[in-house]
Amino acid sequence: MERQKHNKAGESGFYHFYGVVEDRNDPKKLGRLRVRIFGKHTEDLSQLPTEHLPWAQIMLPLNATPNESPNVWDGQLVFGFFADGIEQQVPIITHQLAVNGESVKDAPGKKTVGFQDQRETHDVLLPDGSRANLGINTSINNHENGHEGKYPYIHSKQTESGHIMEHDDTPGKESVTIMHRSGSIIKMLEDGTIEISAKKDCNISADGNINISANGNINANASGNFKAKASRIDLN
């Protein structure tokens, strides 16, 4: 009976927590996360394996799609509270904290400590050929000359495998960038120019017509051969 007196958040105090996401593979596909909580859970995986951590619900905005996959990945620092108050058995996640996309990691292949991403590291292949783990305030364009985004005008969303969607509102350098983890990029620059760069082939097809027009010149360059195949070719 005594336990029932403290089964609601706020009745005996508000119990919040900080923790690190270690598992997102919710078997019920409800968007729940397994979180290792600082001050409550040991970092020793031999004593408390990730699969024994409780599932935490995520508090979503009212306009969110129910049961959608959360935009949080393993190793992310999160904040929340316990819905059952002092019992501290029903964690609810309310926010993720800005830590620039980084988490402490063991040596490769050595996963003995909690409070970190238990997967292999997922880096991003940048346009200049280097690799990095981009954080929420790191611009793709910082790695390219002439288009340097600046904090706090960069609004980036990066998935766990390295796909990035970025809106850069840096005054005079406003741009939109979509980047695949391979390094293929679609960019809309500050003057309205659109750039498409593919790491492999770039294919365009349509069931109807494909029309290309320009008020200026149309330039075509190839290091190899240039081929045109059609039932009829008209040159005016």
DSSP 44: B
> Is-contact 112 129, C-beta < 8 A?
no
CATH classification at residue 146: 3.10.450.190
Backbone angles phi, psi at 18, to 5 degrees: -120, 140
Q: Is residue 51 classed as helix, strand or coil in its secondary structure?
A: helix
Q: In terms of pLDDT, which residue wins out, 146 or 97?
A: 97
Centre a 10 Å sphere on the Cβ of residue 89 and count the other Cβ atoms it contains.
11
CA distances from 218 to 115, 201, 212, 214, 235 (A): 55, 20, 9, 7, 14
Same domain, 17 and 85: yes
Strand boundaries in the chain, DSSP class E: 16-23, 33-37, 55-58, 77-82, 91-96, 124-125, 131-132, 154-158, 164-168, 175-179, 185-188, 194-197
Higher local confidence (pLDDT), 126 or 221 = 221
Q: Using CB atoms within 10 A of its CB, is residue 29 exposed (0-12), middle (13-18) or buried (19+)?
A: exposed
CB proximity list for 125: less than 8 A, separation 6 or greater = 131, 162, 181, 182, 183
What band does 68 get if pLDDT is binned at 50, 70 and 90?
A: low
Q: In total, how many domains does the chain have? A: 2
Across the chain, mean pLDDT equals 78
Residue 21, pLDDT above cutoff 50: yes
- pLDDT higher than threshold 50 for residue 103: no
DSSP 113: B
Rounded to two decimals, what is the model's pTM?
Answer: 0.58
| Contact yes or no for 17/38 (Cβ under 8 A) | yes
Residue-number span of the structural domain to which 130 is assigned: 125-197
Q: Extract the tokens encoding 203.
A: 């294919």
Q: Does 151 lie in the same domain as 78?
A: no
Closest CA relative to residue 195, chosen from 212, 207, 178, 172: 178
Residue type, 163: H
Residue 156 or residue 12, greater confidence: 156
Specify if 228 maps to a domain. Answer: no
pLDDT tier, 80 (very low <50, low <70, confident <90, very high otherwise)? very high
What pLDDT shows up at residue 31? Answer: 85
Other C-beta atoms within 10 Å of 15: how many? 19
Report whether pLDDT(56) > 90.
Answer: yes
Are 29 and 66 found together in one domain? yes
Where residue 97 falls among pLDDT bands split at 50, 70, 90?
confident
Q: What is the pLDDT of residue 210?
A: 93
CATH number of domain containing 7: 2.40.50.260
Q: Of all residues in the chain, what percent carry a pLDDT higher than 70?
A: 73
Residue 57 lies in a domain: yes
